């Protein structure tokens, strides 16, 4: 059976990556492509790498345009999902790459996003304990943020097993595409080239409560998260260095064992052989999360490093993986673990 898929936000980075993946997916046929100000233009003007769709005309993002598809992928700015979901009704599978339905706590939402909380949908990170049950057959998916994807997968096994204190530090270098296509002063070529700078420090980044939510769910109690994103001059990729204090007596072997057990059967999570370190270049265009785990015994800390492509596993790949689960397709359909190098 072939499923029809519409993509709202088709001219953006997340929409473009969704379309790249859908073009290679055996079970999807691409339907309506919609956007905002670009409506009326051809996709080829915005996504020159998607040759088979170059002549497709972009439509306005309206419920009427998105209706009649089996799946609607939303790759729009935050705040637009609720109206579309309501108009499409409960029978359409909606996979939202935006943040609107990720957080369960309305207060955390209001504090970090400054608007009314829309609600909570099944969280689209299948590798979290118990998540697949909530995604199988669902009609709604909230795709995680890119930083929460890699940092949660890096920390959940140690936190869930009680091997580290519930107080974690995440410092994550990110490529610029995470910010979307629209022009931002700190992303102008002359600002970003040859420069590395932190931003949204000291608990200010809106992904902090999302990471805390994921870790808290497995810790059985609150987890404190100190998160610092760092912008680096590359288009794609995130490298997250995650650390937490080891509980007394926990050593390198026990720590590594927990990760090998947690991810041994996961198609998209690779715990690298000892001595090999994750690198963003190794996961470009792939849905893989590379992890390495080590114990810094002198400092008494677990050190877990994770690499993802923010647009693939960090957004569109995760979205397709969840759509596969929701539709009863093989979870890996249309998704590659093969990167592009150099
Ligand atoms: N980039 C990333 O790494 C990640 C992105 N996401 C999420 O995915 C979503 C899209 O992000 P991204 O692709 O980066 O953003 P972009 O800015 O690259 O793209 C935004 C898209 O939304 C469309 N759009 C903008 N305003 C409107 C509007 N008022 N009505 C209809 N369409 C509109 C744009 O169309 P037009 O060309 O007409 O302006 C464009 O297609 C966001 O919610 C983001 O948080 C999630 C995880 C990671
Ligand atoms: C470089 C950069 O600006 N990255 C973005 C990541 C956004 C993202 O991935 O996710 P959302 O869906 O939650 O917006 C940021 O730090 O806000």
Ligand 2 centroid – CA 211 distance (Å): 13
Cα of 225 vs its chain's centroid, Å:
18
Secondary structure of 75-126 in HEC code, one letter for each residue: CCCCCCHHHHHHHHCCCCEEEECCCCCCCCCHHHHHHHHCCCCCCCCCECCC
State the pLDDT at residue 341. 85
Per-residue pLDDT at 293 exceeds 80: yes
249's torsion region: left (phi>0), alpha (psi -120 to 50) or beta? left
For the question of residue 97 being annotated catalytic, the response is no
Ligand nearest to the CA of 211: 2
Q: Which two tokens stand for residue 275?
A: 């001595």
Give me the interface pTM, i.e. the ipTM: 0.96
Averaged over 173-189, what is the pLDDT? 85
Q: Ligand 1 pocket check: which of 8, 13, 112 to mutate, most ligand atoms within 8 Å of Cβ?
A: 13
35 lines ligand 1 (CB under 6 A): yes
**How confident is the model over 46-87, as pLDDT tens digits?**
999 999 999 999 999 999 999 999 999 999 999 888 889 999
Domains and CATH numbers, the chain: 3-142+313-327 (3.40.50.720), 147-310 (3.30.360.10)
Give the phi and the psi of residue 306 in degrees, each rounded to 5.
-130, 145
Q: Ligand 2 pocket check: which of 77, 175, 178, 188 to mutate, most ligand atoms within 8 Å of Cβ?
A: 178
Nearest residue (by CA) to ligand 1, atom 15, is 180
Q: In whole angstroms, how large is the CA radius of gyration of the chain?
A: 19
Ligand nearest to the CA of 58: 1
Q: Ligand 2 pocket check: which of 141, 145, 187, 317 to mutate, most ligand atoms within 8 Å of Cβ?
A: 145
CA angle 103/109/110 to nearest 5° reads: 165
183 lines ligand 1 (CB under 6 A): no
State the pLDDT at residue 190. 82
Q: In what order do the strands lie in the sheet with 140-142?
A: 59-60, 28-35, 3-8, 71-74, 93-96, 140-142
Per-residue pLDDT at 299 exceeds 90: yes
DSSP letter (8 states) at residue 310: T
Ligand nearest to the CA of 208: 2
State the pLDDT at residue 133. 96
Q: Which two tokens stand for residue 237?
A: 């990729």
């Amino acid at each position: 059976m072939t499923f029809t898929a519409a993509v709202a936000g088709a001219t953006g980075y997340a929409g473009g990556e969704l379309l790249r993946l859908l073009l290679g997916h055996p079970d999807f046929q691409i339907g309506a492509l919609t956007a905002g100000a670009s409506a009326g233009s051809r996709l080829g003007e915005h996504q020159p790498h998607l040759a088979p769709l170059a002549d497709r005309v972009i439509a306005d993002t309206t419920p009427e345009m998105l209706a009649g598809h089996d799946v609607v992928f939303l790759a729009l700015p935050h705040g637009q999902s609720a109206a579309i979901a309501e108009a499409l009704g409960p029978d359409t599978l909606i996979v939202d790459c935006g943040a609107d339905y990720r957080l369960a706590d309305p207060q955390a939402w209001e504090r970090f996003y400054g608007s009314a909380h829309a609600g909570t949908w099944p969280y689209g990170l299948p590798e979290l304990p118990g998540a697949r049950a909530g995604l199988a057959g669902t009609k709604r998916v909230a795709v995680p943020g890119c930083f929460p994807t890699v940092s949660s997968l890096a920390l959940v096994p140690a936190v869930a097993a009680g091997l580290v204190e519930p107080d974690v530090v995440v410092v994550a270098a990110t490529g610029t595409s995470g910010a979307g296509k629209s022009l931002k002063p700190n992303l102008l070529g002359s600002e970003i080239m040859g420069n590395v700078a932190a931003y949204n420090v000291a608990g200010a980044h809106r992904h902090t409560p999302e990471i805390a939510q994921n870790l808290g769910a497995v810790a059985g109690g609150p987890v404190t998260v100190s998160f610092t994103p760092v912008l680096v001059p590359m288009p794609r990729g995130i490298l997250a260095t995650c650390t937490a204090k080891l509980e007394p007596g926990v050593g390198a072997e026990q720590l590594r064992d927990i990760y090998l057990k947690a991810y041994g059967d996961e198609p998209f999570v690779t715990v690298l052989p000892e001595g090999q370190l994750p690198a963003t270049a190794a996961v470009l265009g792939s849905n893989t999360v590379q992890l390495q785990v080590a114990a810094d015994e002198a400092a008494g800390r677990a050190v877990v490093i994770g690499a993802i492509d923010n647009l693939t596993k960090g957004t569109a790949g995760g979205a397709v993986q969840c759509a596969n689960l929701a539709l009863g397709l093989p979870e890996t359909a249309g998704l590659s673990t093969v990167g592009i190098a150099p």
